[in-house]
Amino acid sequence: MRTILVVDDEKSVRESIKMILEYEKYNVVFAENGQRALTLFEEQPFDGILLDIKLPHGMDGVEVLRKIKHMNAEVPVLMISGHGTFETAVEATKLGAFDYLPKPLDRDKLLIALRNAIEQSQLAREVKKTREREYILGDSPKIKEILSIIHRVGPTDVRVLISGESGTGKELVAKAIHRASKRADMPFVEVNCAAIPGELIESELFGHEKGSFTGATTQRIGKFEQADSGTIFLDEVGDMSLQAQAKVLRVLEEGKIERVGGNKIIEVNVRVIAATNKNLPEEIKKGNFREDLYHRLNVIPIHIPPLRERREDIPILIKAFIEDTCLRNGIAVKTISERAVHILMGMEWSGNVRELRNIVERLVIMTPGNTIESTDLQTLSLTHRDELESILHSSKGFQEFKDRAEAAFIKHQLELHNWNVSKTAEALEMERSHLYTKIKKYGLERAGRDEEEDKK
């Protein structure tokens, strides 16, 4: 049975809501003021909360909402009021309220809104559990070293600066550090500094007061306040403006923030993890990044190598991505041939793990059979250009380069002639027996056909 907390100072309203909800098999708990609501919220879990905006004894519904969301951001809250304004509704929504219902309450609208709120909250929890399964995958020495660092620094409050190319998994490392910390049950707040316009980054980080600039119609709580007692992840910190950098430095030094347009000093207890795909020492030389902030952030540096420098992790990643894609799309789990894996391992992966995941998802969805073959990679145009790039950039010696180039060229010719060995040998001006030797030497195969059919 779902348990709902109803917070309203009017007895008649409480009784009316109780009658509606109990008829629908909800268990109802009452609180006549904000302090009582917070006490009950600490004592037992609730599936949803109906919260009046106007409450007695100094603490209004918006303040109660802010405290509830700080304690547990996942619980759905529906705001109710006969006195609210549009601005109040907007503020409540920004603070995390699911919906805003005017008095007198309409029975059907109340039940629909409450059901939707509970279902969305449950879905959000399931998504969160799924994301928490996104662990750092790999068995290479470099990944093992990163996991060891996470294990050591996670339980501390030390600041960490994660560097690496785009798509290497910097966010996963930051989340792993948060999960390993004493703050794991508190908020993990992400800020993509590159995605926020320079003129808005300060408002995003520190919040703003109503009327502080054109368009600031309500007070805004910034990311640092939202992350209080938890972790803030400053992704692509190298793209932050110098002015914002100065304010972040102050937070790191003093543990205090000041909203844009405000004069109130607000203390925050936040662990800072930052990430960048830029060379910050070079950015410092160019005058784009503060050296003092760099040293504050770079207490524990973690560098994530590009995928091309840890190719032995690719088969593990491929298997995990196949299973995940099949699970999310309701597809029977597919397998992948060794040849297809070998080809994928040879690609350059300029987009790193993110690019690999995207291509594996495409292969799983577009491959009609239960096994992904090397021919499926060719069908999706994933091999020729990428294989050539791989040969050029990853061959360790001239002999390896010659062998891989010859194998790729012979295979391409076989495909052009539908794997007719006689016609291919004629096109290559090569004896059939010599071509067979080359095919055997390089392990060239045509998926889905037996050897006798290939010889026709």
Say how far residue 381 (Cα) sits from the centre of its chain. Answer: 28
Matching fold, domains 3-130 and 141-305: yes
Tell the CATH topology of 3-130.
Rossmann fold (3.40.50)
Is-contact 293 248, C-beta < 8 A?
Answer: yes
By the 10 Å C-beta count (0-12 exposed, 13-18 middle, 19+ buried), 44 is classed as exposed
**Would you kindly state where each structural domain of the chain is located, as residue ranges?**
3-130, 141-305
Name the CA radius of gyration of the chain, rounded. Answer: 29
Give residue 289's pLDDT: 96
Q: What is the pLDDT along the chain (456 residues), one digit of tens a residue?
A: 899 999 998 889 999 999 999 999 999 999 999 999 999 998 888 999 999 988 887 788 889 998 998 888 889 999 998 766 667 777 788 788 888 888 888 999 999 999 988 988 887 776 665 555 557 888 899 999 999 999 999 999 999 999 999 999 999 999 999 999 999 989 999 999 888 887 788 888 988 888 777 777 777 888 998 999 999 999 999 999 898 899 899 999 999 988 888 888 889 999 999 999 999 999 999 999 999 999 999 999 999 999 988 999 999 999 999 988 888 888 888 999 998 898 888 787 888 999 999 999 999 999 888 999 988 887 666 654 555 556 665 566 788 778 888 887 888 788 777 788 898 998 888 898 899 898 888 888 764 443 344 444
Give residue 306's pLDDT: 92
221: tokens are 């709580």
The b/e string for 227-246 (b: 16+ C-beta within 10 A; e otherwise) is bbebbbbbbbbbbbbeebbe
Of 86, 85, 9, 18, give the one whose Cα is nearest residue 51.
Answer: 9
State the Cα–Cα distance between residues 393 and 300, nearest whole angstrom.
32
First to last CA, the chain: 69
Neighbours of 300 (CB within 10 A): 17
Span 141-305 CATH architecture: 3-Layer(aba) Sandwich (3.40)
The b/e string for 68-84 (b: 16+ C-beta within 10 A; e otherwise) is bbbeeeebbbbbbbeeb
pTM exceeds cut of 0.95: no
Give residue 456's pLDDT: 42
194: tokens are 């590159």
The b/e string for 398-420 (b: 16+ C-beta within 10 A; e otherwise) is eeeeeebeebbebbebbbeeebe
Which residues are 51's β-sheet partners? 7, 79
